[in-house]
Structure 1
Amino acid sequence: MNILIIENEIYLAQKIVSRLLDDGHSCDYIESPNIDNLTKEYDIILLSTSLPSALCKSIIKRYKEISIIILLVSYISDETVTNPIKDGAKDYIMKPFIMDELVRKLYHYKECRSIKRELQTLRDYVKFVMSDIDTSDVLLPPSFPILIESNSQMCSDKLVFELSRKIDMPITFISLNSTTWQKQINAVQFKSIIYLTDFHTLKRNAKENLIKLIEDKDCIISSLETEVDFPHRKIEFNNNNQLITNTNIMTINDYVKLMVLSYQTKYPDTELSKKLGISRKSLWEKRKKLGIEKKK
C-alpha cells in the first residue's frame, strides 16, 4: 500500500515508517504539510490531530474520497475525534499504541474498501445486464414459498435481487440441476432467501418432494415453464423483449423466419444469409416459402 504519515512527533513517525517499510509498504512522511503541496494519491493517510484543526479538516476534505484516513490522537474530544470522523476520517487510534494494532487497522480498512468496491462493481454489472427488464409493474411479496414463472431466468433473478435488497436478506443460490440440491437446502442454517432455479427440469415426484421440503422455508423457486400443480403462490413475469422463449423448441423454419424478421433491416441479404449459414438464393426461397415480406 502507498501510505502517507502526517505526524509532528518525529520518533513516533519514524517508528511507524520503519514498521510499514518492513511490511513491504511504500511510505511518505511529513511533519506539518502545506495543503497545496499534497499532490500524490495515497491508499491510507495516518493523520495526527495534534496539528491545527483547520489543517486536519482541509486534508480530510481533500483525501476522504480516495484514501482511508486514520487519526493518530493523544486524547479524545470533539475536536480530535468526533468532528474529523464526521468530516470523513474512518477511525482513530490512541497514542501510545501497539504497532500491531495499527497494522491490524490498516489491513482491516483496506479489506473493507476492497469489498465495498467489488460490491459496487457487481451491483453496477447486475444493473447493466438487467437494464432492459422493467419490474415497475411487478410486485414480489415477502411471503414464502413462492414460484416465479418466466420465459427468462434473468427476469426471475432481477425480482429476487430486488426483494433481497428491499427486505435486507441475503440470497442462497441453489440449482435444482444439482444432484445434491436436497442436502444444500437442508444445510442452510442462517436466515436467507433460498433461491431455487431450474424447477422445470425436475420430474414430477422430485417436484412433490421439493414442495414438501420447502413449506416452512423462506424460499423462492424459478421455473421456465408453467407449473400447474404448484400449491403455493405464483407470479408470472416474462421478458417481452426476448426473441426466443425457453418454453418451446422451435422448428428450423420458425427459427429462420424469426431471425429474418428480426434482422433483415439491420443486415443486407448477403450478410444475413452468411450469418444463417445458407446461400442468398436459399434465403430468397425461404422468404417465398414462409411468406416473409422483404423490408428495406
Structure 2
Amino acid sequence: MNILILDEEVYLAQKVAMRLQEEGNNCTHVANIKEIDFTTNYNVVLLSTNISSSDVHKIIVNFKNSIIILLVSYINDTTVTKPLKDGASDYIVKPFIMDELVRKIYHYEEFKRLKQNNNNLENYINFAFNNIEEVQEVPKNLPFVIETKDQRIADKIVFDVAKRLNKTIKFISLEKHTKINPNDFKDELLYIYDFHYAKKASKDLILNTIFDYDVIICSLEDVGKIQYPKVTIESSNKLSVVDSILTINDYVKLMVISFQNKYPDTELSRRLGISRKSLWEKRKKFGIEKNRGN
C-alpha cells in the first residue's frame, strides 16, 4: 500500500514508517500540509490532528477515497468528532501500541476491499435483473414455491426476499444433495432452485420438512397440489428454458420478444439475418407489440 504519514513528531513518524515498510508498504512522511503532494493517490493517510482543524478538513476532503486514521494526543470535538464526521475512518490515541495501529490499517483495508466487491456484485445483480418484470403476487410468508420456465425470475424474487428479511441466501442443488435438513440453514434463506430434478419421494420428504423454515423452492415443472403457497409465472417476454428444438419461426419469435428492448430494429434484424421489412412482417404475423424506443 502507498501510505502518507503527516505528523510533526519526526521520531514517531519514522518508527511507524519503518514498521509499515517492513511489511512491504511504501511510506511518505511529511511534517506539515505544505509538504503534501495532493496529486498522489494514497491508500492510507495517517493524520496527526495537532495541526489546524482547517488543514485537517482539507486533507480529509482531498483524500476522501483513502483510509484515514487520525493520530490524536487527546480526544475532543476538534480532534476526533468533527474529523470523523468529515470522513476519517478511525482514530488512535498517542502513545499507542504499534501493533494496534497496524491492525487498524489492515482492518480498514480489508473492509474497503470487501465493500468494493459487494458493490460490484450488487451492480451485477441489478444489471442481470434489470429487464425482468416485477412479480406482484409474491407471498409474504415463507416457505413458498415458484413455478416458472425462466429461473431468472425466481432468482430475482429470492434476492428481493433475502433483502427484505436481511438474510444471506443458501443455494441448494438437488443434483448434489439427496437429503436436506433445513435446521442446518435456520439462520439463512434456503433456496432450492432445481426442485424438478428430485424424485417424488425426495420431493415429498423436502415438502414435509420445511414447514417452519425460511425456504423458497423453484421448479421448472408443475409440482402439483401442495400445502404451501405457489407462484406460477408465465415468461411472456424473456428468453426461457426450452426442452425441444424450435422451428425457425418459433426461434425468430423468441429472439424478437427477448431482445427487442435491447437492440434497435436495424441491429436486431442484422443479427437475425433478415431485413427490417421482414422483421416488421414477422412482428405483425406473430402479434408482437413493438416496444417503445425501437
* TM-score, length-scaled by structure 2: 0.83
For 1:231 and 1:115, locate their aligned partners in 2 and report how far apart those are by CA, in whole Å.
41
Range 235-244 or range 41-50, more displaced? 235-244
For 1:100 and 1:268, locate their aligned partners in 2 and report how far apart those are by CA, in whole Å.
60
Alignment check: 8 A CA contact 1:199 1:223 kept? yes
For 2:196 and 2:75, locate their aligned partners in 1 and report how far apart those are by CA, in whole Å.
61
Alignment check: 8 A CA contact 2:170 2:190 kept? yes
For residues 149-194 of structure 1, the C-alpha deviation after alignment (integer angstroms, 9 at most, x for no partner) is 11111111111111111221111111122134425x44325x1111
For 2:271 and 2:97, locate their aligned partners in 1 and report how far apart those are by CA, in whole Å.
73
Q: Tell me the number of residue pairs that the alignment of Structure 1 and Structure 2 aligns.
A: 265
Match of 1:211 among 192, 207, 210: 207
For residues 33-67 of structure 1, the C-alpha deviation after alignment (integer angstroms, 9 at most, x for no partner) is 13884110111110001110010011111111x10
CA apart distance, 1:143: 1.1
Counterpart for residue 55 of structure 1: 55
For 1:263 and 1:150, locate their aligned partners in 2 and report how far apart those are by CA, in whole Å.
19
CA apart distance, 1:245: 4.1
CA apart distance, 1:234: 1.1
Counterpart for residue 5 of structure 1: 5
Counterpart for residue 266 of structure 1: 269
For 2:145 and 2:178, locate their aligned partners in 1 and report how far apart those are by CA, in whole Å.
21
Alignment check: 8 A CA contact 2:169 2:191 kept? yes
* TM-score, length-scaled by structure 1: 0.83
Counterpart secondary structure, 1:213: coil
For 2:139 and 2:30, locate their aligned partners in 1 and report how far apart those are by CA, in whole Å.
57
Amino acid at match of 1:188: F
For 2:179 and 2:8, locate their aligned partners in 1 and report how far apart those are by CA, in whole Å.
60
Counterpart for residue 158 of structure 2: 160
For 1:217 and 1:244, locate their aligned partners in 2 and report how far apart those are by CA, in whole Å.
29
CA apart distance, 1:267: 3.9
Change (3 A) 1:262 1:156: closer
CA apart distance, 1:241: 2.0
Q: How does 1:144-155 map to 2 (within 5 A)?
A: 144-155=142-153
Amino acid at match of 1:225: E
Alignment check: 8 A CA contact 2:167 2:189 kept? yes
**Correspondence 1:82 to 2:87:** no
**Contiguous gaps of at least 5 residues in structure 2:** 257-267, 275-284, 287-294
Counterpart for residue 217 of structure 2: 221
Change (3 A) 1:54 1:177: same
CA apart distance, 1:200: 1.2
CA apart distance, 1:29: 0.9
Counterpart for residue 72 of structure 1: 71
**Correspondence 1:236 to 2:228:** no
Range 28-37 or range 203-212, more displaced? 28-37
Change (3 A) 1:22 1:72: same
For residues 174-226 of structure 1, the C-alpha deviation after alignment (integer angstroms, 9 at most, x for no partner) is 1122134425x44325x111111111111211111001111111111111122
For residues 254-281 of structure 1, the C-alpha deviation after alignment (integer angstroms, 9 at most, x for no partner) is 4322124456962488x57xxxxxxxxx
Change (3 A) 1:96 1:158: same
Amino acid at match of 1:73: V
For residues 107-151 of structure 1, the C-alpha deviation after alignment (integer angstroms, 9 at most, x for no partner) is 10000000000000001111111111021x424344111111111
**Contiguous gaps of at least 5 residues in structure 1:** 273-290
Match of 1:197 among 193, 199, 212: 193
Counterpart for residue 256 of structure 1: 248
Alignment check: 8 A CA contact 2:7 2:30 kept? yes
Alignment check: 8 A CA contact 2:132 2:238 kept? no
CA apart distance, 1:236: 2.1
Counterpart for residue 15 of structure 2: 15
Counterpart for residue 169 of structure 1: 167
Counterpart secondary structure, 1:182: coil
Counterpart for residue 184 of structure 2: 187
Change (3 A) 1:134 1:9: same
For 2:104 and 2:271, locate their aligned partners in 1 and report how far apart those are by CA, in whole Å.
62
**Correspondence 1:178 to 2:176:** yes
For 1:120 and 1:26, locate their aligned partners in 2 and report how far apart those are by CA, in whole Å.
27
Counterpart for residue 288 of structure 1: none
**Correspondence 1:110 to 2:109:** yes
For 1:142 and 1:169, locate their aligned partners in 2 and report how far apart those are by CA, in whole Å.
15
